[in-house]
Every structure is written in structure tokens, then in C-alpha cells.
Amino acid sequence: MEEWKSQSRPDKQLALTIVCIVVGPALVIGFHNFAGPGMTNSKAGFFLGVLLLFIGAIVFLVQGRQTIVIDPAERRITIEDRTPFGTKSRSITFHDITEVGIGYLGKRSNYVRCYYLSLKLRNGENYPLFSPGRFYAGASDRSIVEGWRLHLENYIKR
């Protein structure tokens, strides 16, 4: 069996950051004068701008590239996170995985859903693999993520 390597898409993280950092201040400036009765829409616009600016700042600080390598020969998964603050690695052996499930982020009603693999580890921890905030190609399609799950389970069973 071949090694399976996947990388996140930091370009999409950057796009989200730029949108939040541009739209947030525009709303804050546009709705900054919300004094007086009946100005609840202005207040909502102002606080939405503050929220978007906060989200943009957080995403900017944590953005980076995540690389996942699933090595069936060594029977391990290696996750490497590169951020502006350095590189962090984690290694999970196949032996430590008790279950592979599918998790999701989002709601069906707003038509935005991101799927990921949820690893249940022997120590009770649930570890998100291909996490939604990293924008992996195919993560918005449940059937693709189901394929990832089956692929990983086949690696683990051997």
C-alpha cells in the first residue's frame, strides 16, 4: 500500500481572512453612529463588523499549511502544522485508533457543511483529521469524506 499524503489549502484561509479584514472595518465605520432610539439595525451592523474583524484577526494568526501523511508501512499518521509561529507535529499510531467516524461543521439550512474524519483514540480523545478550518479539497462532499474513511479503515485493518 502506498503512503497517502494530503495538504490543506491555505489560499482559502487567506481569502477568508481578507474578506473578514476588509468587510469588518467597513461595517464598523459605516455603522459606528448608532446612538438614538430605533437604531438597532445600525447597532447590529456595527457588532457584525466587530465580529468579522475579530474572526479575520484570529484566522490570520492561526493560518498555515497542514500536511497529513498516512503511512501504512509504519502504521502511523503524522500531522504537521506550519503557522507563522512555527511548526508543530503529532504522530498517531494505527494501534491507538479505536474508531474512525465522520464529523461535520455547519448546518444543512444554510447550505454550508464541511466534513472531516473523527478519530476516536484509546485514551478517549477525539481527534479531527482533515479539520474543516483547513479547507481540504473535497471536504464539503460527504461521499468523498466517506471514501477517505473507508480508505483509512482499510489501512488500519491490514
Q: Which three cell numbers stand for residue 36?
A: 438614538
pLDDT (average), residues 26-33: 85
Least confident of 31-40, 47-56, 140-149: 31-40
Question: What per-residue confidence (pLDDT) applies to 31?
Answer: 83
The pLDDT assigned to 110 comes to 65
Has residue 138 been placed in a domain? no
Q: Give the residue among 16, 26, 102, 25 at the shortest CA–CA distance from 62.
A: 16
* Nearby residues of 110 by Cβ (< 8 Å), 6 or more positions away: none
The pLDDT score that the predictor gives to residue 37 is 62
Give the amino acid at 55: I
| Coil, helix or strand at residue 29 | helix
| Residue 79 falls inside a structural domain | no
Mean pLDDT of 110-135: 87
- pLDDT tens digits, residue range 61-100? 777 888 999 999 999 999 998 888 889 999 999 999 999 9
Decide if pLDDT at 128 tops 90. Answer: yes
Q: Which of 50-54, 105-109, 151-155 has the lowest mean pLDDT?
A: 105-109
Is residue 153 a part of any domain in this protein? no
Q: Is residue 102 part of a domain?
A: no
Q: What are phi and psi for residue 18, nearest 5 degrees?
A: -65, -45
Average pLDDT, the chain: 86
Q: How many degrees, rounded to 5, is the angle at CA 75 between CA 73 and CA 80?
A: 105
pTM of the model: 0.71
- Report the SS3 class of residue 151: helix
Flag whether 95 is in a domain. Answer: no
On whether residue 44 sits in a domain, the answer given is yes
Residues of 97-123 as b/e, b for ≥16 C-beta within 10 angstroms? beebeebbeeeeeeeeebbbbbbeeee
Q: Which domain holds residue 37?
A: 13-62
* Number of domains forming the structure of the chain: 1
With respect to residue 46, please indicate whether it lies within any of the assigned structural domains: yes
Residue 124 lies in a domain: no
